Amino acid sequence: MADKLRVVVTGMGMRTPIGNTLKDVAEALKAGKSGIPYMPDWEQIDRMRTKVAGVCDIAGEEASISRTFRRSMGRVATLATLAAIDAVDDSGINKGEIASPACGVSFGSTAGSTSEQVVQMGRMIQNQSLAGLPSSAYLKCMSHTCAGNLATLFHCRGPFIASCVACASGSQGIGFGYEAISRGKAPIMVTGGAEEMYFMHAAIFDVLMATSSTYNGRPHETPRPFDAARDGLVVSEGAGCLMLEEYEHARHRGANIYAEILGYWTNSSGMHLTDSDPQSMEECMRAALKDAGVNAEDIEHVSAHATATDSGDTAEAIATHRVFGPKVPVTALKGNTGHTLGASGAIEAIASILMGREGFMSHTLNLAEPDPELPPLNHIMKGPLDRGFSLGVINNFAFGGVNTSLVIRNFLP
């Protein structure tokens, strides 16, 4: 699309298991910090193999959200809101313009608040009664609770998009926001993704034998993306929000520009609901590069999805090697944060921007010995690279055969 408008990032906010501010997350990545603790309460869950997870520390922060809005939010929407408030403040965009048709919302999550769903449905089933069911229950549980609550909180009246594609929800949130601006539908979009950690999320992957259980007694040693000793994913929570803005709109008001979204693509494997497919992953990456107008040889860093599952990492390594070969540096952030599910694409996009601008590439935590059965990639290991970068790719993949790829150009300070 030759006449598409340029789209830039002018504000960012996040809540993660390794920090809640841009500065803290950048420092945690440089230091190789793990956000994965042991979960003692899970010992009480019969047949639960995994006992590790990633949790955000937001104690006391909920009070910063007015009760008028907070009463319709479960934990997932609360995480999204805290990240979005930071991103909006960081952008410096006039609040009146955000509360107008000029600003839309494109935000994803795997589902609504799972903890609220279990509590309210359990109460109804056990009591066979609606007694005590709050009127706000559905608002906390609906699949578009994050996008809906954000639009209401900020009074946005522009385009409304709520992605609900599991682990690709956050990256689709950014991608669809990019497309809305690039096609002239709105000059401002609140974008990203969020997820809350609840044992049911881990249980779903546990019954698929896809969770990490070997390292329950050594939680900081898992997950292990691309490692020969990887044994599965670690479920986590978090939120990432990027304020996207049409370039001329941002330039006119003298905004601080972090990065430019150059290209985006999402596709389906059309093959299997849970098995990853190298061919469609490769096609997605190549289509995103084409949309961005750049070549694979131009890319300086790849942020891998890398859940540390056997089949997922294998398929991704094959596709990544086919597109980028063995030379481009690769980082897998989930070694630090665990798998934040619907938030992962947004958190990893922000991390990529932070790395590029602050002059480093974080290493893949817990990657000690790359699996020799996988195609060779230029993994960053043992410590961060003291090198910034401009052009980066962020890849995310999800159940349902969903693939996403973002191409971002950092505006180096």
Q: How confident is the model at residue 127 (pLDDT cuts 50, 70, 90)?
A: confident
Q: Is 305 a catalytic residue?
A: yes
Residue 124 CB-density burial (10 A; 0-12 exposed, 13-18 middle, 19+ buried) = middle
N- to C-terminal Cα distance for the chain?
A: 29
DSSP annotation string for 260-320? EEEEEEEEE-SS-SSS--HHHHHHHHHHHHHHHT--GGG--EEE----S-HHHHHHHHHHH
Are 243 and 237 spatial neighbours (Cβ–Cβ below 8 Å)?
A: no
Average pLDDT over residues 268-292: 93
Q: Which of 167, 241, 321, 379 is catalytic?
A: 167
For the chain, the domain total comes to: 1
Q: Percentage of the chain surpassing pLDDT 70?
A: 100
Catalytic residue, candidates 144, 301, 339, 379: 339
Residue 56 annotated as catalytic = no
Closest among 209, 201, 390 to 310, alpha carbons compared: 209
Tokens (6 digits) for 95? 């609040």
Report the run of H or E that residue 349 belongs to, with start and end: helix 344-358
When pLDDT is averaged across residues 267-279 and rounded to a whole number, the result is 89
State the residue for tokens 């000059």: 187
Which band of pLDDT confidence, cut at 50, 70 and 90, is reported for residue 1? very low
- Identify whether 408 is part of a domain: no
Q: Is 241 a catalytic residue?
A: no
Position 2 confidence tier, pLDDT thresholds 50, 70, 90: low
The CATH number given to whatever domain includes residue 256 is 3.40.47.10
Flag whether pLDDT at 41 surpasses 50. yes
Residue 54 domain boundaries: 7-401
Of the listed 144, 201, 249, 305, which one is catalytic? 305
Distance, in Å, from the CA atom of 372 to the CA atom of 342, rounded to the nearest integer, reads 30
Residue 129 phi/psi, 5-degree rounding, is -155, 155
